[in-house]
Amino acid sequence: MPPSTAVPGPAPGTRHQAPGTRLPPGPRLSALQRLVYWPGRNMLEFIRNNARTYGDLVTYRLGGELVFLVGDPNHIKDILVTHNRNFTKSRGLERTKRLLGNGLLTSEGATHLRQRRLMQPAFHRERIAGYGRTMAEYAERTRTRWSAGATLDVAQEMMRLTLSIAGKTLFDVDIERQAAEVGRAMNDVMESFWTSMLPFPDLLERMPIPRLRRARAARGQLDAIIYGMIAERRPASAEGSGVASPKPLRGEGGASGRDHGDLLSMLLSAQDDEAGDDAGRVMTDKQVRDEAMTILLAGHETTANALTWTWYLISQSPEVEARLHEEVDRVLQGRLPAVADLPALSFVEKIVTEAMRLYPPAWIVGRRAIDEYPIGEYVAPPRAIMIMSPWILHRDARYFPDPDRFHPDRWTPEFKATLPQFAYFPFGGGPRRCIGESFAWMELVLVVATIAQQWTLGLVPGHPVELQPVVTLRTKHGMKMTPARRG
């Protein structure tokens, strides 16, 4: 709990008031809007306009919830780091849980701590350095598949690529053949997320709405693929049984007896030394499935988004594009990039840093207060939802001069040193900070460098570039681009 401060009394003229508390200002919404939260493109405008009109702390009631829109980096740090124990993850999670079960992204408290401890080693810098080769090789496969002048949906291409990379590096399977199927299934599932924002999501879930029916079928498909991967490694287990293999598996990489050096091997062999009984020490198939699904979803969709926006921004700036080409040609001299090249590919890194500033894939991070929470001169009541949006902070002129301009050169070491800690936070912060951050940085730089060695991507004239803020910041109509072979 944060230190308790005096609770300010109600102030005359404040719109939302609860007994004994005074809430920050905010927009007045109609009764219907307050009950039914309808996500869509306008959500981005809605939150940005509110931040501009009312400042760093805004409240409104939406979808039956009291929401605090938090725009001060210090407050964000307090919520995500300093006082994180006073918060749980917020409501959208209920639907996420239907897909991801109790994986790292959705679990709370002791379960989360245990799972994080078990999975952390798979994401250590040294471990993921071994994945660099696969990342560049799969990007090379992608660039080889393309032909000059053909129209591509770069959003789909990047989705397919990052899914294949996640499949190979984390589960040692060549998912490329199934990528379209998995991609479609993920898409159906993601598009059904809006129902969690409506009242009675459980009831909705059972209704014969075609989109939801598709999402249920898609979930079944994804489950089949993942349980299939588990069964291959742990043949003794019954599909979906939720029963752990009785033997401790430390270091064996599953019943197939081989450590594939990937995440799945670690999940199958991980042991929680602090758990009392044998059965509780290893993960059940259900737990492994939940973690695998979590990583597959959290790990590929976000990175694909970041890459798609990166290609779009590069296509809009010939000067940035020319310097990108100069750097990859000079540093790589025609060979595929490797992990050792990363420090020299500093302009590529600045480009992706700037792309994630303008189009942060995780555009909001939400938390729900457990106990009353003093924030600034106000007090958030228990259950209030705190919304912290990289989309807003990253385009705030106080931190980023000329904020809407794509300007990779702003990321000098001096600029970074003076930037407040949570003015830029594409990967969140605190104990729930993205576990795949180093993985993502490496993948982003290696993929951009590999593709830029050979191709220039031009936006198809007239293609509508529209934002679709679902769980991640997607493009509504994909990203139609034409590759041109470089000199």
Supply the minimum distance, in Å, between the C-beta of residue 115 and ligand HEM: 8
Q: Which of 360, 362, 361, 347 is nearest to 314 (CA)?
A: 347
Cross-strand partners of 18: 21
Instruction: Assign 208 to helix, strand or coil.
Output: coil
CA torsion through residues 44, 45, 50, 55, sign:
positive
Three-class DSSP labels, 169-186: HHHCCCHHHHHHHHHHHH
Closer Cβ to ligand HEM, 189 or 435, answer by number = 435
Supply the minimum distance, in Å, between the C-beta of residue 82 and ligand HEM: 15
Supply the minimum distance, in Å, between the C-beta of residue 474 and ligand HEM: 13
Rounded distance between C-alpha atoms, residue 153 and residue 159, angstroms: 10
Pairing outcome for strands 365-369 and 21-22:
unpaired
Closer Cβ to ligand HEM, 309 or 456, answer by number = 309
Q: Count the neighbouring beta carbons within 10 Å of the beta carbon of residue 315.
A: 19
Closer Cβ to ligand HEM, 121 or 246, answer by number = 121
Instruction: Assign 427 to helix, strand or coil.
Output: coil
Rounded distance between C-alpha atoms, residue 97 and residue 83, angstroms: 24
Q: Taking CB positions, which residue lies at the least distance from ligand HEM?
A: 436
Rounded distance between C-alpha atoms, residue 326 and residue 348, angstroms: 11
Rounded distance between C-alpha atoms, residue 289 and residue 222, angstroms: 10
Rounded distance between C-alpha atoms, residue 82 and residue 429, angstroms: 10
Closer Cβ to ligand HEM, 14 or 468, answer by number = 468
Rounded distance between C-alpha atoms, residue 473 and residue 484, angstroms: 27
Closer Cβ to ligand HEM, 303 or 453, answer by number = 303
* Torsion, Cα of 291, 297, 302, 304 (10° steps): 130
Closer Cβ to ligand HEM, 22 or 260, answer by number = 260
Supply the minimum distance, in Å, between the C-beta of residue 293 and ligand HEM: 10
Supply the minimum distance, in Å, between the C-beta of residue 290 and ligand HEM: 11
Closer Cβ to ligand HEM, 434 or 446, answer by number = 434
Cross-strand partners of 379: 374
Rounded distance between C-alpha atoms, residue 313 and residue 318, angstroms: 10
Q: Tokens representing 309?
A: 């926006």
Rounded distance between C-alpha atoms, residue 207 and residue 199, angstroms: 14
Supply the minimum distance, in Å, between the C-beta of residue 485 and ligand HEM: 28
Rounded distance between C-alpha atoms, residue 123 and residue 227, angstroms: 22
Closer Cβ to ligand HEM, 84 or 317, answer by number = 84
Supply the minimum distance, in Å, between the C-beta of residue 120 and ligand HEM: 9
Closer Cβ to ligand HEM, 265 or 303, answer by number = 303
Supply the minimum distance, in Å, between the C-beta of residue 374 and ligand HEM: 21
Determine contact, residues 472/302, Cβ cutoff 8 Å. yes
Closer Cβ to ligand HEM, 374 or 426, answer by number = 426
Closer Cβ to ligand HEM, 123 or 245, answer by number = 123
Closer Cβ to ligand HEM, 227 or 441, answer by number = 441
Supply the minimum distance, in Å, between the C-beta of residue 89 and ligand HEM: 6
Rounded distance between C-alpha atoms, residue 75 and residue 80, angstroms: 9
Supply the minimum distance, in Å, between the C-beta of residue 298 and ligand HEM: 4
∠475-478-481 over CA atoms, to 5°? Answer: 120
Task: List contacts with ligand HEM (CB under 6 A).
Answer: 89, 104-105, 116, 294-295, 298-299, 302-303, 306, 361-362, 365, 426-428, 432, 434-436, 439-440
By the 10 Å C-beta count (0-12 exposed, 13-18 middle, 19+ buried), 35 is classed as: middle
Supply the minimum distance, in Å, between the C-beta of residue 295 and ligand HEM: 5
Supply the minimum distance, in Å, between the C-beta of residue 475 and ligand HEM: 15
Q: Tokens representing 357?
A: 């500033």
Q: Tokens representing 292?
A: 């695998």
Determine contact, residues 136/450, Cβ cutoff 8 Å. yes
